[in-house]
Chain A
């Protein structure tokens, strides 16, 4: 008879810090003691500083231990079989851990709790209620429900998801496609990865609802080769869903079918741009297309295509299940609902924090994130990936909201927040932004292709202390060209990190020239 049930994450972030070894050590310790335990592999709760975090089922709910190493496994098992609280790694009831208790988990409601590949557990935890309601409402009312929820693109562009669906639903086409943008290339982001590994069926359900709403028959999940675990889990989930007729020729009932396929990119950041992604799925170089035509009119293989971020699509089931109003009532201004914010880099408590829009950046990095991991002063925070601005502490009162970040010359992007302590050299970070753009540029437009290389060279001259004032003016001018002359966000947004570094951390750009002047 099983005497205890343990939950150990199989999320890549937990595996990277030894979760498999912990699971193995727990099983070995149990067999050495002659007791039978059940080990359930889940996704991650997103409290990464506590990973590997082991949970134990108790009559009063789950309790947690962490961070657990393989060497701790035997003592954790002993405590679990006797007095859990006796373990020095005991964290108490999981749901009561402040970091989790303060969140509003809608999109990530099941992540870290269920066995990701159990369709039974998915349904038991509220899965497929959204699709059921959509099928009752009908396609047009489903689209209007998403419009009414106020859901906007969680990839960063912030375009209203429902409006996109309305356009595709109205567009004539032989066949229509749903494309999920899971090409999560921004440093500091891991929400897509966590969800694909921890609750893949919610994405399948969200895409199925989208297909029903707009009349699509085929969907693609385009994700990254850097995410092997997410790819494997997602593909297995699709196979399971198909066997259960949740995908396939009768997925939507009444003989209406929907098929889903995972497509894997090949290390090109620019393929996260929607039109480059479509080219890549078509088997071509990931070169950005000029718009119009919009993908909603002429997208994948020239057909009307919904292309949404993974988090947008995965938020649809809960919106349909509980109604647009509940979702819309959360948030601030025109940013409605919740956003899974990812705290990363040099922060003491890095992890996933899903909350309604409106928390300030300072709340996120100082209070929730706990300041720096290194214990030094928090000096800069980059929000929104390699194309996002660097914020100084003076701007920590900026609320997490699409418009507020735009007003502060930044962007929320996909919700990645990366902390840097006072050892950071912001001139080098600005140079890196240009270098990254040069490496990843698709090459179609000149401001991005050439501007990024020239930008890195000019910043090198600034770092070397040569004609600093004139070269800073040159970089600013170049940034204006890139911002207004580039075809897509890669060249167009690279100026954000560069200009914010110059504006908020000018001392890092003039250090060498002052040193030279002093000699």
Chain B
């Protein structure tokens, strides 16, 4: 389960203040904001700009550059499927197609029941036990279709 809370400007300000004195603090702050709120809300951008003495455009540029940062909350669960070559060599593409078909969701999208968001990932470093995936931060190796189906069913039930 993705553990996140509703947007609260005072909590965001606390997180930002926690990084006072950090050199080049933008990424650490953005990671912490996303960990707290499940995404980086647009409302956070001016707060960050103010704290780091940068323009809102600068901060927007940073947020939008990195694949990790989402501008909207994910589903109840987050499934990262590796799409890189080592996983391709042992059937990763077929698993990805299967997941997309079963969820009715493309890359970066959430199934209509809100259960699961499907994200592509380019390498989890689990290439010696491919195909690899990560569900809510838990790593999964030697993934096959039966296991993938079980993951999807469980995510929908919880």
Contacts and interface: CB of A to CB of B under 8 A. Distances in A.
Interface of A: 12-13, 15-17, 46, 48-49, 51, 184-190, 192-193, 224-230, 263-269, 280-286, 301, 342-346, 350-352, 373-374, 382, 385-386, 416, 418-421, 424, 429, 432, 436, 439-440, 442
A17 B127 contact: no
Contacts of A345: 85-90, 127, 130
B142 interface: yes
B81 to A, nearest CB: 12
Nearest to B140: A16
A188 B86 contact: yes
A266 B31 contact: yes
Contacts of A280: 27
Contact of B129 (A13, A282, A301): A13
A158 to B, nearest CB: 22
Contacts of B89: 345-346, 418-421, 424
Contacts of A225: 31, 68
Interface in B36-89: 52, 58, 61-62, 65-69, 80, 84-89
A263 B86 CA distance: 26
A304 to B, nearest CB: 16
Contacts of A436: 84, 122
Given A280-B27, A418-B89, A267 B127 contact: no
A366 to B, nearest CB: 16
B127 A188 contact: yes
A184 B127 CA distance: 12
Contact of B30 (A188, A266, A373): A266
Find the residue from B80, B121, B142 having the highest chain A CB count within 10 A: B142
B128 A13 contact: yes
Contact of A187 (B61, B122, B142): B122
Nearest to B131: A345
Contacts of A228: 137
A416 B130 CA distance: 14
Nearest to A497: B85
Given A185-B123, A190-B128, A386-B122, 16 more contacts: A17-B141, A48-B128, A185-B122, A224-B125, A226-B125, A263-B27, A265-B27, A265-B66, A280-B27, A285-B62, A286-B65, A344-B127, A345-B88, A345-B90, A385-B85, A420-B89
A189 B125 contact: yes
A264 B30 CA distance: 11
B26 A429 contact: no
Contact of B90 (A46, A284, A373): A373
B126 A386 contact: no
A375 B99 CA distance: 26
Contacts of B85: 187-188, 345, 382, 385-386, 418, 429, 432
A446 B126 CA distance: 33
Contacts of B139: 12, 15-16, 229
A222 to B, nearest CB: 10
B84 A386 contact: yes
A277 B78 CA distance: 27
Contacts of B28: 263-264
A184 B84 contact: no
Contacts of A16: 126, 129, 132, 139-142
B126 A13 contact: yes
B65 to A, nearest CB: 4
Contacts of A188: 84-86, 127
Nearest to A225: B68
Given A283-B24, A345-B89, A17 B142 contact: yes
A49 B129 CA distance: 7
A12 to B, nearest CB: 5
B124 interface: yes
A314 B69 CA distance: 31
Contacts of A344: 86, 127-128, 130
Contact of A51 (B68, B87, B129): B129
Contacts of B67: 266-268
A184 B124 CA distance: 9
A371 to B, nearest CB: 13
Contacts of B137: 228
B122 A350 contact: no
A461 to B, nearest CB: 21
Nearest to A184: B125
A354 to B, nearest CB: 14
A198 to B, nearest CB: 12
24 contacts: A12-B126, A17-B129, A184-B125, A186-B123, A188-B127, A189-B125, A190-B128, A193-B125, A227-B124, A229-B139, A265-B66, A268-B66, A268-B67, A283-B24, A283-B62, A284-B26, A344-B127, A345-B88, A345-B130, A373-B90, A418-B85, A418-B127, A419-B89, A432-B88
Contacts of B69: 266
Nearest to B123: A187
Contacts of A49: 128
B23 interface: yes
Contacts of B66: 265-268, 286
Nearest to B54: A283
A436 B88 CA distance: 13
Interface string B101-121: 000000000000000000001
B25 interface: yes
A161 B16 CA distance: 37
A350 B127 contact: yes
A190 B31 contact: no
Contacts of B25: 283
Contacts of B24: 281-284, 301
A187 B27 contact: no
A346 B89 CA distance: 6
A416 B46 CA distance: 42
6 closest A-B pairs by CB: A16-B141, A283-B26, A187-B84, A266-B66, A48-B128, A267-B67
Find the residue from A46, A185, A283, A345 having the highest chain B CB count within 10 A: A283
Given A226-B123, A419-B89, A350 B128 contact: yes
Find the residue from B66, B69, B127, B129 having the highest chain A CB count within 10 A: B127
A12 B128 CA distance: 11
